[in-house]
Amino acid sequence: MSNEITTADGGAATATPPASRRRALWIVTGVAGLTGVVGLAALGGLAARDDRAGGPERVADNRAAAPHDAGGDAHEDGGRGDHGEGRAGPGRGEWGGGEEHDGAREIPCDDDALVDALELANRGHGGTLKLAEDCTYEVGVKDRTVGGALPAITQDVTVEGNGATIRRDAEDAFRIFRVAGGGRLTLDDLTVSGGSASEVRHPVPAASVAHGRPGAGDGGALLVERGGSAHLSNVTLTDNNAEHNGGAVANYGRVWLQESKVLHNHAQGDGGGIFNRGILKVEDTAVDDNTAGGNGGGIANGNGLSGKHGTDATELKSYVPSGKHDDAGTVEIIGSDHGKDGGKDGGKSSLSNNHAGRNGGGLFSSGGYVTVSFTHITGNTACENGGGSYAETTDLDLDKLVVAGNHADGDGGGLVVTGGKHWGYPNTKQSASATIADTVIADNTANRFGGGIYNGEWLVKIEDGFLTPSETEDDNAALTLRNTLAKDNTALNGGGIFNNKATITLTKTHVTENTATDTSKLHRVAGGVLNHEGHVTLDDESLISNNDPTNCANTVEDCFN
């Protein structure tokens, strides 16, 4: 630990932490005197909803519905310490070396004091810790019994950051915070950086292996296990890494991020910023500039399937499920409507400039339920599909968004909605449902199909020439667009929207000035909407116009040209 000292070149000079730390052996159950507490500019003329959901329910006050693991005392990196019940505790002045004021224990600018205070809070009934103002706590010694420098949270613990930073400063890889089943963690006004979650390499108790506890190698800054919860307010999670999923956060319980930032994190697996298999709420929060080797550069809800979103049957031969894709949880992303008439300042949440090595540059979901409102999904990229968002077998609800400037090397520059690729695999046939309302989808690009939106089955057989057969399979995905604008999107075909063996309903929606770049004369090419073996329905107030080279290439009824 050290307070940062600014050097002449603007860097931060820090003292090297000791190679080892002497740790007191606490044999008590409580501490005397411890108090237990613990803009949407492009919407323009589109209608904006006046009603708003009520105030969010405090996540930290609600326990996860999932039962605790049978082996609750066995953790991925070792075990939970003895609680030492029935023994006397130290005096108030001995608790981490700090003083108690207004129900909060003030922790001096010393990482040992922070560790000891958290240990004793766990041994008691929780408590509130107030960190030293603007201090940088440099945690540098990994405790292999818990897999990190800080004790796992098992009680109701609040950390008032007071502008402080908790930063990993060691060659060893370890995460910063872990919340065990039954634990509740509240972080406020704090920066957490440099966490690096890695899978356990040393022997662990047989119970941990037998129960298959999730989370090893997940959550560089924070791992919340089943039955645990965390509430982060005015917190910045930056420069964290995970060997598996969740560069900053991996959630298997309940997590609520409020007025926070998740920036510049990386996961080798899914969820460069956040990985979720529990209940996740992201409110007035920026999830920007994160990267994932797999799916979900910003946020990943579940892991998804291993097969590649392809164009012919040969690419499906290696298809096998990569995991329990239906283990995805529930995600709500919401930005407060503070802007006048839903204007450019209305969206305070963002998924921007994230990158995925596979699908879902900004947001990825496989199964589960996802709702997003008053949010900017912009500037994201995916090496495969869904530059802005990729939703597979998911119930998806998007409202009052700007989805702009995203790119996919494959399909769906802005958005992908799919029930999966079940062609030739009847046992894996599933469907997806999505509603998009009061949203602008603009300036997105895809190297293949659906510059703005790709809807439906993954497999597209170009050799069919996009001719509508007598009998169609349109049950892969059901997409409804209401009061939405798709403009200036570009793809090889279906510049605005590509619909494949699925259904789309357009209500008060405009698809205009989109472009298809395919110069081939061997099949139909539509700059606006290309419908392939599906159904697209327009109401009287919807319009597909001024797209290049055609609006719909005669694949959509009531669409001219």
C-alpha separations of 349 from 212, 286, 287, 302, 335 in Å: 35, 5, 8, 21, 5
Alpha helices by DSSP H, 409-503:
none
Q: Which residue has the higher pLDDT, 156 or 461?
A: 156
- Rounded to 5 degrees, φ, ψ at 451 are -60, -45
Q: What pLDDT digit, counting tens, does each position of 199-214 carry? A: 865 444 433 333 345 6
pLDDT tens-digit series, residues 387-418: 999 999 999 999 999 999 999 999 999 999 99
What is the value of pTM for the model shown? Answer: 0.79
CA proximity to 366, closest of 299, 465, 300, 435: 300
Beta bridge partners of 388: none
Give me the amino acid identity at 470.
S
- How many helices (H) and strands (E) the chain has is answered by 2, 48
Residue appearing with tokens 């996919």? 408
Burial degree of 15 (CB within 10 A; 0-12, 13-18, 19+): exposed
User: Is the pLDDT assigned to residue 130 strictly greater than 50?
Assistant: yes
* Residue 449 and residue 498 in contact, taking contact as beta carbons nearer than 8 Å: yes
> Which residues are paired to 288 by β-bridges?
263, 352
The 10s digit of each residue's pLDDT in 317-364 is 333 333 344 478 999 999 986 544 444 444 589 999 999 999 999 999
In contact, 471 and 434? CB cutoff 8 Å:
no
Residue that is written with structure tokens 């499920």 in the block: 321
Question: Per mean pLDDT, which range of 25-39, 302-316, 386-400, 500-514 is the poorest?
Answer: 25-39
Q: State residue 311's pLDDT score.
A: 40
pLDDT computed for residue 320 by the predictor: 33
Nearest to 423 by CA among 367, 493, 476: 476
pLDDT for 71 equals: 32
- Would you list the domain boundaries of the chain? 25-38+58-178
- Rounded distance, CA 364 to CA 380, Å? 12
> pLDDT higher for 359 or 44?
359
Tokens found for residue 559? 């669409």
Give percent of the chain above pLDDT 90.
Answer: 60
Beta strand pairing call for 5-6 and 395-404: unpaired
Evaluate if residue 381 carries a pLDDT over 70. Answer: yes
Rounded alpha-carbon distances, angstroms, from residue 452 to 234, 467, 479: 33, 22, 13
**What pLDDT, on a 0 to 100 scale, did the predictor assign at position 468?**
52
Considering the chain, what percentage of its residues have pLDDT values greater than 70? 68
pLDDT band at 145 (very low <50, low <70, confident <90, very high): low
Which one, of 369, 175, 356, lies nearest residue 281 by Cα? 369
